[in-house]
Amino acid sequence: MNPVLEPLFKTVRATHPKADLRLIERAYDVAAYHHRDQKRKSGDPYITHPLAVATILAELGTDDETLCAALLHDTVEDTAYSLDELRADFGDNIALLVDGVTKLDKVKFGDAAQAETVRKMVVAMSRDIRVLVIKLADRLHNMRTMRYMPEHKRQQKSRETLEIFAPLAHRLGMNTIKWELEDLAFAMLYPKRYDEIARMVSERAPRRDLYLHEVIEKVSADLREAKIKATVRGRPKHYYSIYQKMIAKAVAFDDIYDLVGIRVLVDTVRDCYAALGTIHAQWKPVPGRFKDYIAMPKFNMYQSLHTTVMGPDGKAIELQIRTRAMHNRAEYGVAAHWKYKEEMIGAGPGKVKQVGDMAWLRQLLDWQKETSDPGEFLESLRFDLSVSEVFVFTPRGQVIALPEGATPVDFAYAVHTEVGHRCIGARVNGRLVPLESRLGNGDTVEIFTSKSPDAGPSRDWLKFVKSGRARNKIRQWFTKERRETAIEAGKEAIGRAMRKQGLPLQRLMSGEALLALARDLRYADVSALYAAVGEGHVAAQSVVDKLVQALGGVEGAEEDIAEAQVPTRLKGRPRAGSNAGVMVAGDPDVWVRLSRCCTPVPGDDIVGFVTRGHGVSVHRANCPNVEQLSAVPDRLVEVAWSPGDDSVFLVAIQVEALDRPRLLSDVTRTLSDQHVNILSASVATSRDRVAISKFTFEMGDPKHLGHVLKAVRGIAGVYDVYRVTN
């Protein structure tokens, strides 16, 4: 046996004892031979990559066919080894898997192309879900070795991983893969945010671990006393999941990190409920926090009992109670239990394998058939991947899973498209409710429909529906049935955008200009362009910008207007007596002022510009406004720094931090402690819980700036602070 394969075979023997090791070794030998002259970006032999992918899959417990396909997955694409040769050597099943992975790799990623790739992935999954599992393992190893790739490639692959591959791993129940993909991509995309969360976790870990140990000991003792055989352990905290919870729940780091999570593993389903009763008898449960995913599994076959109780010192403790089989499924998902004894549809290499109770995969197949626009498909997919479910009942007791926050309209479209289109009212648990009402777990929903032949959905429904299916069906209806309305809406939106900018409507909306633009954008005529704007496929502002560009652009602004384009318009007190600390070559008595658009300080390269009636304006040499001012070279003058004791300079800094209560108070207090005079401040918090603050203040000695930045960077949650120069 090849000694290189010993670690892989050791894992295979533990997870899949009946695997054909000779077949796997033969696949390795073929892959090693054909990749013999290839190297990875790291300089390692290329065969290390397929071997690492196969090892990841072996740890998940996959079968020997999947491991062979993992070892061979790059041979057809990257070497002279053909698919026909592979089929002759290893059979139809392995060839089908390798072909599926190869097809996914061939498509180049871009916005629309990315959606097409996901579609091909869906088709591949419908034939054999192992294709996607191999692809996820392939992406995981690539993310582990991403540091050898160029920066732009790292950014692109990491974003793709967060938006597509990690959520797909979640939907297939492969949580170990999902968590590692998320943390690797998070560290690559947002290294400073990642490092700040890692720092905050390490600072609080010792105190939290002591408390966790105390809770585990108490729960274990309670279960032993009740004669329930169980393993109790803490749940690992993943940096990206902490960050996501900060965004989703809009709470500070401490509130999430201090929430203790433990997992109880037992032998049987009966023990799960017995353990739950024992724990609730000893610890006070938090109302509304109990979820039974054993009786009602999630889309990805995940099963567990979830509850939250109040522990020592009044701290909330989250518990997951599950059997060991459920735990394997929760960690490894579809990789934990292959369903290959199910009915095969069709015959030959193109046969389709049913995916058991994984309704979500079948739903994806429906979407990709009914959604013509790749971008719309991808948007629906991302949205569906990012939310959890609620489970509701039809009047006959059938369970329907919907995204969290779903409404009766989502329910109507889940039942049938026509029920959705004709929906005019709903009754939830026997009571009439508005159509935008949110449904909760266990609700019984009854839909009232209109018998009118003209019945149809309302455009307002798009504002509150949560499911991709409902959104797609409503948009389709408007595309087919309401094109005239869309044309009028598009025309009005373009006119409104022009009026807002004070542009000449008649000149810009002339038939020739619009027709030329419509053809450039690949629309059949002007009406099709209007309809696209009305339906939201093209932004009205984008159309206006392209029209203006086509007709020569808006006339350039005056130099004084250019001077006024500053990030923050300061209205502080006039400082007529202050010394700007700048000398004009050949004329020391000229009035000099430091420009506020780039706030130059000693040490910066500077240029002077003679203004009309305002002396010489001093800019940093790389200020964006200098490019416009250079159009009048005879008014540029040479200037040099000459700061005095009474010189005062404006400095602008930007602070980026993970949002939390009292953050602004801490930053302003720190700046005050550094004895700087704040003239203006602006604060904005983005949807991803990042607070971006800009401060402009006066300083006498620019060298002091380093101390100020260091002090601000030491504030909890602040992961970046730097001087803003334009």
Handedness of CA 430, 435, 441, 444 (dihedral sign): positive
Cβ atoms of 334 and 173 closer than 8 Å: yes
Q: Cβ atoms within 10 A of the Cβ of 18, count?
A: 8
Q: Cα–Cα distance between 415 and 419 in angstroms, integer? A: 7
Match 């648990």 to its residue by tokens. 429
Reference 526, options 540, 509, 504, 542; nearest CA is: 509
Catalytic-labelled residue, pool 6, 29, 64, 78: 78
Match 């600390």 to its residue by tokens. 581
Using CB atoms within 10 Å of the CB of residue 284, give its burial: 0 to 12 exposed, 13 to 18 middle, 19+ buried.
exposed
Reference 134, options 207, 52, 204, 196; nearest CA is: 52
State the Cα angle at 160 between 157 and 162, rounded to 5°. Answer: 110
Q: Residue 531 gets which letter from DSSP?
A: H
- And the tokens for 69? 């396909």
Residue 77 annotated among the catalytic residues of the structure: yes
Cβ atoms of 580 and 618 closer than 8 Å: yes
Cβ atoms of 354 and 198 closer than 8 Å: no
Using CB atoms within 10 Å of the CB of residue 358, give its burial: 0 to 12 exposed, 13 to 18 middle, 19+ buried.
buried
Residue 78 annotated among the catalytic residues of the structure: yes
Phi/psi for 476 (5° steps) reads -60, -45
Output the CA torsion 370→173→352→117 (10° steps): 50
Match 């000398």 to its residue by tokens. 583
Reference 586, options 630, 545, 616; nearest CA is: 616
Q: Cα–Cα distance between 469 and 120 in angstroms, integer? A: 19
Q: Cα–Cα distance between 375 and 381 in angstroms, integer? A: 10
Q: Cα–Cα distance between 55 and 34 in angstroms, integer? A: 20
Q: Cα–Cα distance between 641 and 602 in angstroms, integer? A: 6
Q: Cα–Cα distance between 77 and 46 in angstroms, integer? A: 13
Q: Cβ atoms within 10 A of the Cβ of 477, count?
A: 16
What number of helices (H) and strands (E) belong to the chain? Answer: 31, 23
Match 């929430």 to its residue by tokens. 259
Catalytic-labelled residue, pool 77, 373, 446, 488: 77
List of residues 6+ apart from 329 with CB closer than 8 A: 173, 301, 302, 303, 336, 337
Q: Can you say how many angstroms the Cα of residue 68 is from the centroid of all Cα atoms in its chain?
A: 32
Q: Residue 252 gets which letter from DSSP?
A: -
Cβ atoms of 5 and 52 closer than 8 Å: no
Helix pair angle (468-481, 359-370), 10° resolution: 20
579-615: b (≥16 Cβ within 10 Å) or e: ebbbbbeeeeebebebbbbbbbbeebebbbbbbeeee
Distances (CA, A) of 262 to 62, 198, 543: 28, 21, 54
Distances (CA, A) of 328 to 280, 355, 472: 25, 18, 35
* Pairing, β 616-620 against β 592-594: parallel
Strand-pair partners of 432: 427
Using CB atoms within 10 Å of the CB of residue 485, give its burial: 0 to 12 exposed, 13 to 18 middle, 19+ buried.
middle
Match 């009026």 to its residue by tokens. 499
| Residues identified as active-site | 77-78
